[in-house]
Structure 1
C-alpha cells in the first residue's frame, strides 16, 4: 500500500488528489489537503477516479473490425493495418480528424495534438470547440490578437460578480480553472461581496446567488448590450488604467443605441428597471467581474455575446485588474512583445457550404456535409481522437448515419462507445492512473498561478502503449515514415529543434521524451521552474495571485485592445433584427450535473445511481397547459427529430423553457458500456438543429432549440 499525489483529470478544476494504491489498483481517493490551490476539495467525479480507472469495460488491446466483428489485435498489427489502409486515400483532404474534449485533459493531447493535426495534412479538421467555446476564442482573437488570451474572473479578490449562462457549482468552472467554486463564492459573500446569476433555470449556482435573474434562453446578448447601453446612458463608463491600452471606446455608444432596457425587456423577460440596477451594481462595485459561458456561446450570437461580456469588463475598468478579470501566466508559457500579427479567419473554406476556417478547423456541424456530399475531396476516412460525436453533435441521427457510411475510420478511445462502434480500428488509451499529468490547457485559465506535475500512479502494464506513443506513432504514419519509425530519434530531433529555436544549450531532464520536452518549456518559461522542482513538490507550487499583463499579453497589430472589431460590429444588425422578431415557441436548453461531464462517466455506478439524471424539466404551468405529468413520459419534437423522455415538473425552470442534460443516449447497438446501458437516458442532440450556427465562429446553437412537447 502506498500514497500517491496527483491532479484530477476529469474536469477543468485541476483539484489535487491523494490516492491510496494497492498493487495495480486505486483503492481510495480523497482530496489533497496539502494542495494550496484546491485545499482538499473533491467532487463526486474525482472521488470516483478509482472505479473509473478500473472499469472492466475499458479496452486494453487494439480492436480491428473484420467481417463486421471486432477482434483483438497487437499494437504492431493495428498500426500496420492503419498504414496500409491509408494508402487508399492519396488525397489527404479525403481524410478528416475530429478531436474531442478529453484531448485537452491529457499531457499527450497538450504536447502532440497540434503536431498530429499538422502531420495529417488535411483541411478537414473538426473539434469539440465548435460545440462549446469557439465564440470566446474568436472574440478574444479579434480584441486581443490571440485565441488563447481569455481573461478569467479573479474571484478571490472581487466584490461583485455577474454570471450569465453558467452553472459553475455543477461544472466546476468552464474556461475557468477554479477548484471549490461553492467555497470561493461563499468567501465572496462572507467578505461583504455579492453575485448575481442570469439563467432560465434555478441552478445550484443560481440558488446560492444573492440575486437570480430569469431570462429567456438565447437572449443574453440583448441583456448584455442593454447593460453597455446603460453604462453610457448613466455616464458610468470608467476605463481607469485601461484608457491607454484601448482603441476609441466612445464609438461603442452609437452601436448600442437600439438596445435600451425598454427595447430588450420583453424579448429577454428581464424588466428594464432590473437591467438598470444591474448596470449600476456593476459600475459601482470597487472590483467587479462579468463571466459568461455555455449559455452565452452555444447560441445564435455567441461571438457578439462574448464580446459584450469583455466589453462590460473593459468599460468598468475591471479588465487586467485585481478583483476583475485577469490573464494567468502559466509556467510553461512565453511572454510577448505587446504586439503581433493579429487574428483572422477564412484562410480556406469548407468544400460543401463554404464555412470559413477558424483556428485551423471547420465547424463540427459541417463534418457530416463533407462525408455525405460526393465530389472531389469528399471525406471518406475519419480519425476520432477522444471524442464522441455520435452523441455530442447536433442532429445525431444524421451523424450516426454518416459515420456508418465511411470507408475507413480509426478511433483513439478507451471504450467501444456510440462513436467508436463505427470504427475499423480502435486504439485504447491507458487509464488515468497509468498516465503522467500536467495541465497544459487549463493553467491558461487558472484563478491563481500554480504549477503541478505528477507521474503515473501505477506503471503501464506490459504490452500496453502510452497515449503519447499512440499520438507519435500516428504522426509518423501520417508523415509517410511508416509504423516502425524510430520514435526516440524523432523526439530527439524535435527537442533539438526547439532548443535551437529558444537559443538554449542545456540538456533538458526527464525519464521520457515528453518529460524532457516539458522540462524545456518550464525552464525557459516566465518562472524558470524545472521538472525536478515539480517532482520534489507533489502538492504543486504556488506562483502567486494573478498580476496585470497589459500590454505584453496583446498580439494585435496596433498593440492595443481592439474594442470594436469589424466582424463583430457587422453582426450587430443581425442581432437587432432578431430582437425585433418575437420568440413564442417552447425552447429547449441544456444543463450540467456535478456527477457528469459530457458522456465520459456514465459507466461508473456511483455517478449514475439513484434518481434519474436524464429528465426533461418542465415548469408546472407549462405542464398543466400541455397535459404533461411528473414522472410520466413526454414526446419532444424539433425540426430534425423526435424523442421520448421522462418528465420532471419543477419550479426550477422558467415558463416557456424545458431542459435536458447532454451526453446521454447509451442504448445504441454495438457498444460495450454495461453500466451506461442500464442508465441509457436519451440523446438530446437528436433534437438540436445542425443548420443553426453562430456564423462568426461556426459554433452549433445547442441552447434555445425550438420544440413541441406533448404527452407520450
Structure 2
C-alpha cells in the first residue's frame, strides 16, 4: 500500500501473504473511500437535550460513560446491558477487549452479525459433531454451493482463481443451487435453479436420489456415525418427482447431480446467506451437511474437515440452554438473535435490556425492520456507539466515540477457518491514527480504569516479572484469581507496553496463542512453533502472516466433539420438519406476490463499511433487479423507477431489467441507502424487512425471501 498525505495512492495484494498470496477483491482495492471518507469522526460526541451533538473531551466522555454504565448496572444489574458488534468486517482485535469491560460490569449478553446469518448452521454443527467444518475446494472433485455466489462473496481463499480452475478441469464438476443465474452458476456443470425459498425440497430430492440410487457410503456410516437408519428410512420414501416439481428443477437434472455427487472421490460443500436468510434455513443447513455425510466426504483431501482455531468464534455449546431474558428465545453460540433485540427492549418486562454498547456495527441499517430498531434504541436508558463514522445507529446514541480506522491500528481477524493449513495475520498500522481518535482496546481500557475494576496492586506481580517464564507464571496466577474475567485488559496493561512497535493491542494474542498451543499441540508444532510463546512471537514478527496450525486428516476425528467421537446424523426436530415438506408451503400472497431478496451481494456492495458512494463504478443507484418477463408485465423500463412495498413499508427504487432473475423474484443490493454528507444513495433494504419474519429455530431473518408488491412509478 502506497500512502501520501494519509491518502492511499496505490493498493496491491501482498504476494508473500501466507493466506491470500496477493489475491484481492475490488473492495480492498478501493479502501481509500473508507479510510478517508468525509464522515470520519474526530472527537467524542455527547447528545444534548435538543437532540443535537456536541464535542467533548475524551476525559469527560470516559468519565460520564463509566458513570452512566454504573448507574444502569446498579439499578437493573449488568445483565440489562447488551453489547452489539465487536469487530466490523473481520477486524476483531478491538472486540476481543470488550469482554473485559462486559465482565467487569456483570454483563454477558452479546449479539453481532453472526446472529442473523450463521447461528442456525452453528446449532446444526453442534448437534452433528460439535465442531466447525472447512471445505477444500482446491482439491475437491465436486464442489457444491448452496445459496452462495463466491464469485462475488468470496468466502474461501482465492475464490475466483479456484472457481476458474474447477471450470477448466474436465475431471471436476461444479454444482450450484441458487434461484439466480449468478456468476458462479455461469461456471457450473449443474445449476439447480430452484424457485425462491424451495431449497429444502431440492436438497431433500438430491439426498433421496443418493439414497434411492444406492450411492450411500454404508461403510462410512457404520464406522463413524449414529442415527443413520432413521435418516435413510425417511429419504427412501421421498417422491423425488414431486419434490422436483415443487422446487422447479427438472427431475433428471436432480438425479444427474445426485449421481455425480454420489460417485465422486471427493466432495466439498458450502452454504451462505442465500439459504441462511431464507425459509427453513436451519433445516437447509442440516440437509446440505447430510449430502457430505451420507457419501462419506469427511476427513480426507477435497472434502470437509473439522479444523483447529486460534479463537473459536463460531461454536455452539450444547451443554448450555441459554435464553434471552424477555422472550426466552434460544441463544445459539451464546448470541442474542438479532431479530428479537427490539422485543427484548420494547416491553415493560422487568428484565428488559436497558442499555447498549455498539461497536463497529450499524444495527439500525443492517438488522431487520429499521423503523422498529430505531424505536428500540430510543427507548433505552443509555446507548454508546464506538465507530469511525456518524452512522445511522450513532445518530440514536447518547455518546459517540471516534475509533481509529482498521489501517491506523494493529488489527487481525479471528475468522481462521481453513484446513489443513490455518493462517493468521496480525496487521500493523499503515498510517498514524487520525487526531482525536483512539483504538477500541484503548477505549475499553480507559473505561475499565474509570470503573476502578483493577488496582495497581493487582497488576504488580505482572509488572515485576522480568522474564518470559516469570510473566507466564504470574499470568497463570492471575487467571486463577479475580482478574480472570478481565484477562484481556490485564494483558493490555502489563504485557502490552512491552511489545515492539507500539503493538500494545496485540497483547491479548499472548493468551490466545498459549491456549491454541495447549489445545492443538501437534498441529501447532507441525506449523513450526515449539509452544505457545513461540507461536506468539511468530505472530508478532511475521508481517505477511503465519501458518498458525497444520492439521492432519486424522485430526478431524480427534476434533469431533461428541462424547462417543461419532457423527450423530439423526436430529429428531429437523427430521420432523423434513416430513412437513410433503405439504405445500407458500409464503407469498395475492397482495404480495413477489419474492424480494432484500440485500443481494454485488460487485459494488460492501455492507456499510464503504459509506462514500463514489467508490461504486457500476450500479451506482443500487437498482431493483427484475426479470424481463415481470418488467414487461408491469410496464417497467431500465432507468425507470418502481415502488417496492412489503408488510413493513414502501420505498422507491431504480429499475434494472436483468435476465439472471427468474419471474416472480426481485432483488435489492445490500449496503445502500446510507446517509453520506446529508444525501441518500439507493435503497436501504431493511426499511422493508420485518423483525418477526424469521426462522423459528435460530431466529435468523428471512431477508432473502420477503413477500413484496412491485408497482411502476416511472417508465
Fold similarity call, TM over 0.5: yes
Distance in 1 between residues matched to 2:417 and 2:384, nearest whole Å: 30
- Distance in structure 2 (CA, Å) of the matches to 1:707 and 1:491: 63
Checking the alignment, whether the CA contact within 8 Å between 1:341 and 1:557 is kept in structure 2 is no
Shift of 1:240: 5.5
In the alignment, what sits opposite 1:411?
A: 385
- Counterpart of 2:333 in structure 1 is 359
The answer for the alignment partner of 1:392 in structure 2 is 366
Q: Which moved more, 1:416-425 or 1:361-370?
A: 361-370
Give me the CA root mean square deviation: 3.2
1:557 and 1:546, CA in 2 relative to 1: closer, same or farther beyond 3 A? closer
Q: CA deviation at 1:103?
A: 4.1
* TM-score between both structures, scaled by the size of structure 2: 0.85
* Cross-structure match for 2:552: 547
**Matched residues in 2 for 1:490 and 1:685: separation?**
50
SS of corresponding position for 1:111: helix
Q: Alpha-carbon deviations, 1:371-423, whole Å to 9, x = none?
A: 21123123332221221111112121222223233332111111111111000
Match of 2:84 in 1: 99
Q: Residue in 1 aligned with 2:143?
A: 161
Residue 97 of structure 2 corresponds to 112
User: d(CA) in 1 for partners of 2:336 and 2:99?
Assistant: 15
- Gap change, CA 1:388 and 1:77, over 3 Å in 2: same
Contact 2:299 2:557 in 1 (8 A): no
**Mapping of 1:604-619 within 5 angstroms?**
605=614, 607-619=615-627
Equivalent residue in structure 1 for 2:167, among 160, 167, 189:
189
Report what 2:567 is aligned to: 561
1:375 aligns with 2:374: no
The residue number in structure 2 matching 1:481 is: 452
For 1:171, the equivalent position in structure 2 comes to 153
Offset of residue 81 of structure 1: 0.9
Q: How far apart are residue 658 of structure 1 and its match?
A: 0.6
Residue 542 of structure 2 corresponds to 537
Flag structure 2 segments of 5+ consecutive residues without an equivalent. Answer: 464-470, 481-493
In structure 2, relative to structure 1, the CA distance for the partners of 1:464 and 1:485 (3 Å cut) is farther
Work out the CA distance in 1 between the residues paired with 2:114 and 2:411: 22
Secondary structure of 2:654's aligned partner: strand
Q: How many residues align?
A: 667
| 2:508 equivalent to 1:517 | yes
User: Match for residue 684 of structure 1?
Assistant: 685
TM-score normalised by structure 1 residue count:
0.86
Distance 2:620 2:435 in 1: 39
Cα gap change, 1:295/1:72 in structure 2, threshold over 3 Å: closer, same or farther?
A: same
Counterpart selection for 2:609 from 592, 600, 605: 600
Q: In 2, distance between residues paired with 1:252 and 1:216?
A: 25
1:471 aligns with 2:444: yes
- Aligned mates of 2:288, 2:618 — CA distance in 1: 38
Q: Is the 8 A contact 1:391 1:664 kept in 2?
A: no
Indicate the SS of the match to 1:552: helix
Displacement, 1:312?
Answer: 0.8
Contact 1:26–1:50 (CA under 8 A) maintained in structure 2: yes
Equivalent residues of 2:3, 2:10 under 8 A apart: yes
Distance 1:98 1:277, change over 3 A: farther
- 8 A Cα contact 2:167 2:187, kept in partner: no
Please state how far the C-alpha of 1:447 moved relative to its aligned partner. Answer: 7.3
Q: SS of 2:215's equivalent?
A: coil
Deviation, structure 1 residue 109: 4.2
Q: Which aligned pairs between 1:248-259 and structure 2 lie closer than 5 A?
A: 248-257=227-236, 259=238
Tell me, in whole angstroms, the C-alpha distance in 1 between the residues paired with 2:364 and 2:243.
37
- Partner of 1:434, secondary structure, is coil
User: Mind listing any 5+ residue stretches in structure 1 that lack a counterpart?
Assistant: 1-18, 335-339, 668-672
- Answer whether contact 1:450 1:543 (CA < 8 A) is retained: yes
| In 2, Cα distance between equivalents of 1:565 and 1:491 | 50
2:35 to 37, 53, 64: 53
Alpha-carbon distance in 1 for matches of 2:88, 2:692 = 26
Which one is further off, 527-536 or 427-436? 527-536
Counterpart in 1 of 2:701?
700
Alpha-carbon shift at residue 596 of structure 1 (Å): 2.3
Structure 2 Cα separation of the partners of residues 85 and 593 of structure 1: 41
Alpha-carbon separation, structure 2, partners of 1:559 and 1:373: 44
- Mark the CA change 1:491 to 1:576 in structure 2 (over 3 Å): closer, same or farther: farther
SS in 1 for 2:642: strand
1:229-244 correspondence to structure 2 within 5 Å: 229-238=208-217, 243-244=222-223
Match of 1:626 in 2: 634
SS at match of 2:152: helix
Query: How many Å separate the matches in 1 of 2:219 and 2:541?
Result: 42
Go from structure 1 to structure 2 and tell me whether the alpha carbon gap of 1:242 and 1:467 turns closer, same or farther (over 3 Å shift).
farther
Please give the residue correspondences for 1:11-160 in structure 2 after superposition, counting only pairs within 5 Å: 19-22=1-4, 24-67=6-49, 68-89=51-72, 90-92=75-77, 95-100=80-85, 102-103=87-88, 105-109=90-94, 111-122=96-107, 124-145=109-130, 149-160=131-142
TM-superposed deviation, 1:302 = 1.2
Contact kept? 1:142, 1:342, Cα under 8 Å: no
Establish whether residue 286 from structure 1 lines up as the match of residue 265 from structure 2. Answer: yes
Please say which of residues 293-302 and 204-213 is displaced more in the overlay: 204-213
